[in-house]
Amino acid sequence: MAIIKVVKAGKTKASLKSALNYIANEEKITTITGKKLITPLNCWGSLKNIYDTMIATKELYRKAVDNKNSEMYKHFQQSFKPNEITPEKAHEIGKKWAMQNFAQNGFEVCICTHLDTEHIHNHFIINSVNAITGKTIEIHANKTLEKLKYSSDELCRKYNLSVIERDIFAQNKNHEYNMRKKYSFLREQFRDLTWQKTVYDKIIDILNKSRNKDFKYFEQELLKVGIKPEHERLKKDFIFNYIDENRKVSDKTLAKTFHDDKILRSNIEMIWGKTLQYDLDKKIYLSEKKQGFYNLIENLIKIIDNINKLNIKTKIEFYIFMEKQGWLIKETQTGKAFYNQEHDRYLYDNTIYKILENKAYCLKYIEQNLMYKGLY
């Protein structure tokens, strides 16, 4: 059984090069025997030669200029059901499918088989310009795409792979809608939900046991069964890291898959009646930008914690101390704020309090505390 999916394509020559580099990634296409599953059709040689050939075809027909209204290539993905096919056979089917639908009609194609996910899948990059006629490829969302999917189904039958028959969806008289429903259903069959069901069951069980406890208890019990809840304050979701399987799933995905909103972060927090306070540790799934933001917060906390230890008593001493640590106190249109010179970043009291829920780290509170000592 195979699913044909259209992947968004770029509109520049750079995007074509990037797409070819992605699908030909050696870590993704190399078998355990060291064989690289990549095949060019109507073009030859190295990846650079494949790219150069496609660009030469475009230049021949004066269609090599980047155009925001026209894609440089078409990108398809053909995904197979897990554990139903070998990498070599998947690649063979991919070559036949590409030959039947594109290459024999004059289009240049690069086929690569990816082995780095639970389901083997082929990627196809097709030059948008026909090497023989110079015409631009046209893929109509309904008619052309359905033919491509039908062609893939026929090849699967020849190779004795499972195919979900069309009459399962025959209740709907609209054929095009019918086919979209079929492929949506097929995609669901590809998903291995066993591990997600395990995670869901464990979370719900521990959640019920934790109602008279607190969030810390909930976290600790999850860790005992191999689930680490990761949370980012500025996003409204949990990421549950299933350590045994080395997989992650969000609360939103679990709620959608198992039709249970109890597992959503907002509803979990309501059990304890308030927004939870979390440890300020960096999360590996955070973007680099947000990791940098949390680094700044952590740095500021450490510096402020040293104020009392160093017996700083006046605002002047405080400002001088902060400047030595790389922080200035600046007046802005919205009030005073901490300013980090190295990262050119402001931290305002409302942001600090929103994250830490502790006014002791807010600039206004610190300055007031120094004033109350009578040493303004």
Mean pLDDT for 256-268 is 81
Query: Is residue 17 over pLDDT 80?
Result: yes
Mean pLDDT for 350-367 is 82
* AA identity, residue 71: E
Nearest 5°: the CA angle 89, 19, 141 is: 75
**CA nearest to 149, candidates 112, 175, 115, 117:** 175
Element (H, E) at 63: none
Query: Is residue 41 over pLDDT 90?
Result: yes
CA 320 to chain centroid: 44
Nearest 5°: the CA angle 312, 316, 318 is: 40
How far apart CA 6 and CA 178 sit, in angstroms, is 18
Residue 3's CB: how many other CB atoms inside 10 A?
Answer: 21
Element (H, E) at 2: strand 2-7
Highest mean pLDDT among 107-116, 240-249, 258-267, 273-282: 107-116
Q: 33 versus 283: which is more confidently predicted?
A: 33
How far apart CA 248 and CA 263 sit, in angstroms, is 15
pTM (two decimals): 0.50
CA 321 to chain centroid: 42
CB 222 within 8 A of CB 203: yes
Q: How many residues does the chain have?
A: 376
Query: Mind listing the domains of the chain with CATH numbers?
Result: 2-188 (3.30.930.30), 194-271 (no CATH), 288-372 (no CATH)
For residue range 284-320, list pLDDT tens digits in order.
444 455 667 777 888 888 888 887 678 787 888 888 9
For residue 286, CA distances in Å to 218, 263, 293 come to: 22, 21, 10
Average pLDDT, the chain: 82
Q: What does the pLDDT read at residue 137?
A: 92
Write the CB contacts of 258 (distance below 8 Å, at least 6 apart in sequence). 196, 197, 200
CB 31 within 8 A of CB 102: no
Q: What does the pLDDT read at residue 178?
A: 55
How far apart CA 178 and CA 83 sit, in angstroms, is 27
For residue range 63-95, list pLDDT tens digits in order.
988 888 889 999 999 999 888 899 999 999 999
CB 29 within 8 A of CB 37: yes
Q: How would residue 18 be classed by pLDDT, with cut points 50, 70 and 90?
A: very high
